[in-house]
Chains A and B, each alone.
Chain A
Amino acid sequence: NAGVTQTPKFQVLKTGQSMTLQCAQDMNHEYMSWYRQDPGMGLRLIHYSVGAGITDQGEVPNGYNVSRSTTEDFPLRLLSAAPSQTSVYFCASSSVAYNSPLHFGNGTRLTVT
């Protein structure tokens, strides 16, 4: 009963490096999303997807790319990491049925130096 799985749990990057945060879900959820969690700012939506091949921007998309080639996977790419992207990142998924709750992964703690 895996639910939403995120890897890695921790990552340290140097400014300018690129990396991909992985997210997979095994609940056949159509909707997947990425949030960043910063002190005093709560959770802010980065990107989301309502199905394979469909993605859209959230509140804070700059500096991040996503793709959705399968229902199960929704990777988040940082093309050129900046210190401002130091944060905890959460992937979440849900059914698109009305009022369906979000299911969260365990998070990835990213530090950019």
Chain B
Amino acid sequence: AQRVTQPEKLLSVFKGAPVELKCNYSYSGSPELFWYVQYSRQRLQLLLRHISRESIKGFTADLNKGETSFHLKKPFAQEEDSAMYYCALVGVVGFNKFYFGSGTKLNVKP
């Protein structure tokens, strides 16, 4: 069965410190992985997706099929990065049926 696990409910770092938000998944196939972000009082929005291999707002994420992980990283955290982050999986077959992790709240302290 498909499952997305984000082991950390809360991650607190100081401004300028590196950040890594963990995401592990289980899926019997080749899933597509995404990171979504929800800033305070805003709607969820797409941050990045693995197929694009892009860096958005300094964040990157590499899909590691061997470890079934898709960790989100940023070398130097900024206060404006404080938000709720969700890792999500969509199976290739399933009409964009997304499965979300439980989310990690990132708190960047000044």
Contact = CB atoms under 8 A, between A and B. Distances in A.
A45 B97 contact: yes
Interface residues of B, number: 26
Determine which residue in A35, A43, A106 has the highest number of CB atoms from chain B within 10 A of its CB, and name it: A43
Contacts of A44: 100
A48 B97 CA distance: 8
A90 B86 CA distance: 14
Contacts of B43: 4, 90, 104-107
B74 interface: no
Interface residues of A, number: 27
A41 interface: yes
Contacts of B34: 101
A50 interface: yes
30 contacts: A4-B43, A33-B98, A40-B102, A41-B102, A42-B4, A42-B86, A42-B103, A43-B44, A43-B86, A43-B100, A43-B103, A44-B100, A45-B97, A45-B99, A48-B95, A48-B97, A92-B98, A95-B96, A96-B95, A99-B32, A99-B49, A99-B90, A100-B96, A101-B34, A102-B36, A102-B98, A104-B43, A104-B44, A104-B45, A106-B42
A42 B101 contact: yes
A112 B101 CA distance: 25
A48 B98 CA distance: 10
B98 A45 contact: yes
Contacts of B45: 104
Contacts of A99: 32, 49, 51, 90
Nearest to B9: A40
